[in-house]
């Protein structure tokens, strides 16, 4: 009897599970399918962590990434890892040794760092140091009219620091700037360039692709010609011309804004084409015709049928486009056409790596490169995972 009851209970549970599947909306199905894709989920978490790290970069980094935060006593210094114990005993607070540097005839007149293992320095949490603002808009665009200077959410607290001297988790570069702080800020910059670039190209793509796909006919033909014309513009010569055009007097922020806009302006054709194709296929679906036969106005069809079928694809498309924008910015900065050194972007950090000296003596310069690879990979994996999950017929096809 109990066994029978047990069996029935299992049956009920299965019934409930089945009903949950049958009444699951597209969004829920997409989420469920995405969660099954383990690499995409891992990439998703990595991406969230990197985005948060980029956004809270000033709080997480102990030093200013600019020349103001340089450590004059620790130039080209290797990464430092806090320790809990050594031959002199255990400490609850993690510590570092004091470093001393010396340049004399003995060291062939090069700066040489030595550790003094007797003198410990201790790690501190929530230290007060340089000031930063989460909202810091300081545009110095050409002309006086558009200049903006606005700061809000200003703080001085940082997650960690040392009681005396500096801590450099990823080491320092030739001027003593902290590579850890620079990397976090670079992730932020790349995110910002990517977001701005993708937003600009997305708006253009949505308007141009949307009009071409919805109206079709000769409007479509003309817009396709324009799209093709834009696609033929070779990016490298264009950027060389632009680099020559950008005056040296422009501030880092202005250059940044300019580069992001240009990336957006040349990045839209691919996206526009995809939006047009989505629209064309969705429009010819029979359920759209069914709605038209009920006398549904264009607004209803766009709102109820085209847009919902669209949003998942759009999100996927944006996710896939994002790393391309970041990559283009990085590549441009790397060859010196985009953002240059005082600005912390992944590209400008990678530019520092291109010296034989780095390869031989200062390998920690490569750490930002790893971040760049992880960043792009995470986006690609999440984008691919979303794309597979968003296809409503992916598992019926097989």
Asked if 78 is part of the footprint of another protein (rule: CB under 8 A), the reply reads no
Smallest separation (angstroms) from another protein to the CB of 290? 6
Smallest separation (angstroms) from another protein to the CB of 307? 10
- Rule CB under 8 A: choose which of 15, 16, 26, 281 binds another protein: 26
Sequence-distant (6+) residues with CB within 8 A of 136 are 150, 151
Q: Which CB sits closer to another protein, 20 or 199?
A: 20
Asked if 344 is part of the footprint of another protein (rule: CB under 8 A), the reply reads no
Answer for the pair 153, 135: CB distance below 8 angstroms, yes or no.
Answer: yes
Q: Write out the binding residues for another protein, residues 184-223 only, by CB under 8 A.
A: 218, 221-222
Q: Write out the binding residues for another protein, residues 294-313 only, by CB under 8 A.
A: 294-296, 300, 304-305, 308-309
Distance of CA 387 to the CA centre of its chain: 19
Asked if 36 is part of the footprint of another protein (rule: CB under 8 A), the reply reads yes
Smallest separation (angstroms) from another protein to the CB of 9? 18
What is the total count of residues that contact another protein (CB under 8 A)?
A: 30
- Rule CB under 8 A: choose which of 240, 291, 335, 377 binds another protein: 291
Q: Which CB sits closer to another protein, 124 or 304?
A: 304
End-to-end Cα separation, the chain, in angstroms: 43
Asked if 81 is part of the footprint of another protein (rule: CB under 8 A), the reply reads no
- Rule CB under 8 A: choose which of 29, 42, 266, 377 binds another protein: 29
Asked if 392 is part of the footprint of another protein (rule: CB under 8 A), the reply reads yes
Q: Which CB sits closer to another protein, 203 or 222?
A: 222
**Number of alpha carbons in the 13 Å side-chain half-sphere of residue 205:** 27
Which residue has tokens 């759209």?
288
Sequence-distant (6+) residues with CB within 8 A of 256 are 189, 192, 193, 339, 343, 345
Q: Which stretch binds another protein (CB under 8 A): 121-129, 260-268, 288-296, 352-360?
A: 288-296
Asked if 286 is part of the footprint of another protein (rule: CB under 8 A), the reply reads yes
Asked if 137 is part of the footprint of another protein (rule: CB under 8 A), the reply reads no
Q: Which CB sits closer to another protein, 121 or 273?
A: 273
Smallest separation (angstroms) from another protein to the CB of 308? 5
- Burial category of 293 from C-beta neighbours within 10 Å (exposed 0-12, middle 13-18, buried 19 and up): exposed
Asked if 287 is part of the footprint of another protein (rule: CB under 8 A), the reply reads yes
Q: Quick one: which of 75, 115, 111 has its CA closest to 99? A: 115
Q: Which CB sits closer to another protein, 71 or 384?
A: 384
Q: Which stretch binds another protein (CB under 8 A): 19-27, 62-70, 191-199, 351-359?
A: 19-27
Q: Which CB sits closer to another protein, 312 or 351?
A: 312
Asked if 247 is part of the footprint of another protein (rule: CB under 8 A), the reply reads no
- Burial category of 256 from C-beta neighbours within 10 Å (exposed 0-12, middle 13-18, buried 19 and up): buried
Answer for the pair 278, 213: CB distance below 8 angstroms, yes or no.
Answer: yes
Contact set with another protein (CB under 8 A): 21-26, 29, 36, 218, 221-222, 285-287, 289-296, 300, 304-305, 308-309, 392, 395, 398
């Amino acid at each position: 009897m109990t066994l029978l009851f047990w069996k029935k209970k299992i049956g009920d549970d299965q019934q409930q599970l089945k009903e949950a599947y049958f009444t699951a909306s597209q969004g829920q199905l997409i989420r469920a399918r995405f969660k099954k894709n383990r690499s995409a989920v891992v990439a998703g978490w990595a991406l969230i962590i990197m985005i948060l790290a980029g956004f809270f970069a000033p709080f997480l980094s102990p030093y200013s990434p600019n020349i103001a935060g340089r450590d004059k006593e620790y130039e080209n210094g290797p990464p430092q890892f806090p320790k809990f114990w050594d031959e002199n005993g255990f400490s609850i607070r993690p510590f570092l040794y004091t470093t001393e540097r010396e340049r004399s005839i003995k060291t062939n007149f090069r700066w040489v760092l030595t550790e003094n293992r007797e003198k410990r320095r201790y790690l501190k949490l929530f230290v007060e140091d340089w000031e930063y603002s989460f909202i810091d808009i300081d545009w110095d665009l050409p002309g006086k009219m558009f200049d903006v200077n606005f700061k809000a959410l200003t703080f001085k607290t940082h997650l960690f620091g040392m009681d005396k001297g500096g801590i450099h988790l990823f080491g320092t570069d030739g001027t003593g700037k902290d590579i850890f702080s620079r990397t976090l800020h670079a992730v932020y910059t790349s995110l910002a360039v990517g977001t701005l670039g993708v937003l600009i190209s997305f708006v253009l793509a949505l308007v141009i692709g949307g009009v071409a796909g919805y109206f079709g006919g000769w409007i479509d033909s003309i817009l396709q010609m324009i799209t093709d014309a834009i696609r033929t513009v070779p990016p490298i010569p264009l950027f060389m011309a632009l680099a020559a055009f950008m005056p040296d007097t422009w501030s880092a922020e202005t250059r940044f804004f300019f580069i992001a806009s240009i990336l957006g302006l040349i990045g839209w054709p691919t996206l526009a084409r995809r939006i047009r194709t989505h629209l064309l296929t969705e429009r010819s679906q029979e359920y759209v015709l069914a709605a038209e036969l009920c006398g549904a106005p264009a607004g209803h069809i766009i709102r109820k049928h085209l847009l919902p079928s669209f949003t998942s694809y759009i999100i996927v498309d944006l996710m896939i486009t994002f790393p391309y924008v970041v990559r283009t910015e990085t590549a441009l900065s790397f060859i010196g056409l985009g953002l240059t050194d005082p600005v912390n972007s992944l590209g400008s950090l990678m530019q520092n790596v291109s010296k034989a000296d780095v390869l031989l003596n200062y390998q920690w310069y490569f750490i930002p490169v790893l971040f760049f690879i992880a960043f792009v990979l995470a986006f690609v994996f999440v984008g691919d995972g979303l794309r597979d999950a968003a296809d409503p017929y992916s598992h019926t096809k097989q």
